[in-house]
Structure 1
Amino acid sequence: MSGHGDPIPMSSRACGPLSGVAEVPGDKSISHRALIFGAMAVGETRITGLLEGDDVLDTAKAMRALGATCTRTGEGEWSVHGVGVGGFSEPDQVIDCGNSGTGVRLIMGLVATSPFAVTFTGDGSLRKRPMGRITDPVALFGATSYGRSGGRLPLTLVGAEDPVPVEYTTPMPSAQVKSAVLLAGLNAPGKTVVVEKEKTRDHTERMLAGFGAEITTEDTPEGHKITLTGQPELTPQDVAVPRDPSSAAFPTCAALIVPGSDILVPGVSQNTTRNGIYTTLVEMGADITFENARIEGGEPVADLRVRFSELKGVEVPPERASSMIDEFPVLSVVAANATGKTVMRGVKELRVKESDRIDAMARGLEACGVTIEEDEDTLIVHGMGAGNVPGGGTCATHLDHRIAMSFMVLGMSAQKPVRIDDGTPIATSFPVFEPLMGGLGAKLTRDNS
């Protein structure tokens, strides 16, 4: 399945109990960063467990275009020969980041302190997403940019010839913005400081430290403060990518709402800046046990045993939003199968993801008979109890992989099949979604095949 091909309508229908082992792909956030930091190290970085979805493969292409060598050596195994901090060369082609907001924003930060121009583009979804949140802070280093109205792609970024370090307070909780500023700071002299009012996923900080950068973090009255010393020599690493907690959420949530289900999801990252969905599911009454806790690739991981559960609606506190921002679409599906209402506040960042995810989920759930309330920063789902969602709707995915997979999960317990207009975006983050879910017992079909 290709995220860049012709639309493929898909349907999901009620199935028997899900069972078996769900070997979900490697973490998308860490996969992007492993390629990028490997490209900035001097020598060979070896990566295992890399997510080989379209988003990450587009980042690998971008690193090659900037002068690094990225070679696939086996399934999920890659070798990256880096050029060192400040060693990138001007690409002779446009950098196409496909559907990946993470990829384009991190790479913009990466090249913002290199003295050449790079032009970025992406698919129809990515070209709608705001890039001013990156171009504004990197301008403080001395970079300039020229793009469409609203800072949208296609956009050309001209890196600073004589970059200066900056101190920047992020205006919204965004690991992409924080990471872009830190990546720009790598090739600037002195100390670059980022202050977050709300702490976001910390993969960049963890991996920078692992590659040998001098980086410190502390909690201050102003917020979470990260200080990076620029112009280090990064040391190549062996990176073992843990399994993606965002991808793991789909089989996990499916098992919770399909009666009789009992599955194992092994090796899932339990980084506290990413596990808000699992905290919320347990609060809803989910039967999830976290087994064999351990450290892999510098990240805490565990095996998840997940069983069907009678769930109740909850209120998700807004301060948890940043640790589960990508999981709200599938949480809304779980909420539709719970009893009582689930209130999700502090979720306005969903409006500017691959799609307006609040609107996309609200319209799709309504088409399947679920009552929804929403405002700019809130989504409320009125639960109907397990097996009581009517289904029968056709849901627009808006080129958004998580919207597509969420409605496929909804169909697994709905009374009538749920259809999506296009399943191709799923390949951006979860290329084995169909065979994996089918192997557990789900009934997914491609409607034009």
Structure 2
Amino acid sequence: MYKVFELLLTGLWIPVSANIIWPGKISMKNRIINILLMQLSYCIILYNSYSETKAIYLFPVLGIIAYLFFGKKLHALLLVPTGYIIGVFANCLTNNGLRLLSISTGTYLSFCLVSIVLVLVSFGIRGLILLLRDKANIIESPKIVITAVIILATSCAAYLYIGFQIRYELIDDKYYYWYVGSYYVIAILSVIVFIAALKQIQKRERELREEENKRNLIEYTSQIEAMYKELRSFKHDYTNMLLTLSGYIDSNDMDGLRAFYQETILPTGEKINSGNYHLHKLSRIKDTALKGMLSAKFISSMSRGINLYIDIMDEVPDISMKLLDLTRVLGIYIDNAVEAALETSSKEVKFNIVVDSNAVVIVVANSYIPKGLSIDEIEKPSVSTKGEGRGIGLENAGKILNSYPNVYKYTEMKRDFFVQTLMIENESIRKRSKNSISGLFS
């Protein structure tokens, strides 16, 4: 009976920890199935005997289950080694704490205490993950995920080796506490190494973003210069056009005037009103990185045949939202708008910014073909009109926006246009208005 209790309870530690620390949304059905499958796999693999070598089979199986039931995300692979390390840490912390306090407990109670500590530690790590995601948007970086995998795999190997030494009494008693203490040393070193690697990766990614911003700004500047040259050329021709018009009027040649207007004047007006000549309005945006990103997106969209309309009436000051988050959200909205507009005959994309003393309102609208999905359905995770697995962008944008209490999002379908509106309230205005257990976990 004790053996069954031990197996069932320790089999819950990794899946329970994994479900707590997972930062994304997951249905209750998936959570229950995930926990049951993980526990069943644990019990089957470790039924006859506990052995560190069985982790070679156990961890990949649990990792596959986590990957399948946590949205098929790359960083879901981190859950199993993280859950294992938390289990070892909770076990070690609980038993050493009880020993230091000279408290004697029964085996069943000891198991339960470890479970409580595991849950508390898991919630603490979940809070840290959410903080990192909200503050630095690093959770989904492939480089950081790979770095974390290497660190966790190394830590797990060390923990399994130490557990093997302790379980089979391959160490002298005088070195026992050194081995136990190494659990904490490894945990601390892992955190230090991860933080150091994180800073280096963030530094490099920041440098890459700055380089991209510079390239975008250079492209924007060259586009503005090309527009200026075209306008200068038009200015030189303007006088000749007026003289030609005057000649047709003086001679009362209405047929010639009509033909000249249709063949010369009208095409010139359409050219001036094209998207290329709307780009100069981006100069009213104060932040050069945001301006560069928008210009790069719009220039690319125009090269694909998009009819672009930009309306920015006032100077756009600093916006009360982190630049990286704002550019990511707008980049997602613009990319989706372009993809949808390309499916229509008009191929229209409209971008508006309205500024007042309280907020900045940004509107991205596009022509689209209705496909029978409601707004609520479109905004569900992984739902897309473009095929399976293509709805990640709006889901990520929603996660970013949810971390800003001063940002309000509105989605509308107006006639033949799909409209995304962001109202970013001025933060200063807003603030003023508010006033030893056996098993693998040894």
The normalised TM-score by structure 1 is 0.28
The normalised TM-score by structure 2 is 0.28
Q: Counting helix residues as a fraction of each chain, which structure ranks higher?
A: 2
Greater radius of gyration (CA): 2
Q: Counting strand residues as a fraction of each chain, which structure ranks higher?
A: 1
Could you say which structure has the greater relative contact order, defined with CA pairs below 8 angstroms and 6 or more residues apart?
A: 1
